[in-house]
């Protein structure tokens, strides 16, 4: 999926994902593939991987827990919709 699609599923702006990718080398453990045209393609299982990353990293602060919960809810909605 492209950056716009993933950002929409996460309830974020596309530039949020790109900014974190540029600053930290990944978006919470996700690294997209860069196409020759410059577009970014994110793994199809990105939502599942974000939820796993949040659980494995043992998020401890309230804001991080809220982001992890939001990502988990978004992943569940997408899975229920069949996408």
Gyration radius of the chain over CA positions: 13
Please give the DSSP secondary-structure letter assigned to residue 2: B
pLDDT at 69: 76
Q: pTM of this prediction?
A: 0.65
For the chain, give every domain's residue range: 3-80
36 Cβ neighbours under 8 A, 6+ residues apart = none
Q: Say how far apart CA 78 and CA 61 lie, in whole Å.
A: 26
* Residue 28: DSSP 8-state: T
pLDDT, tens only, 25-77: 999 889 999 999 999 999 999 888 887 777 776 655 667 667 777 777 877 78
The structure tokens 């393609």 sit at 41
């Amino acid at each position: 999926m492209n950056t716009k699609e993933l950002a929409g599923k996460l309830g974020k702006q596309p530039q949020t994902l790109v900014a974190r990718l540029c600053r930290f080398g990944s978006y919470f453990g996700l690294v997209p593939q860069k196409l020759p045209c410059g577009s970014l393609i994110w793994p199809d299982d990105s939502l599942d991987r974000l939820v796993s990353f949040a659980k494995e990293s043992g998020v401890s602060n309230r804001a991080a827990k809220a982001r992890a919960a939001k990502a988990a809810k978004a992943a569940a909605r997408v899975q229920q919709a069949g996408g």
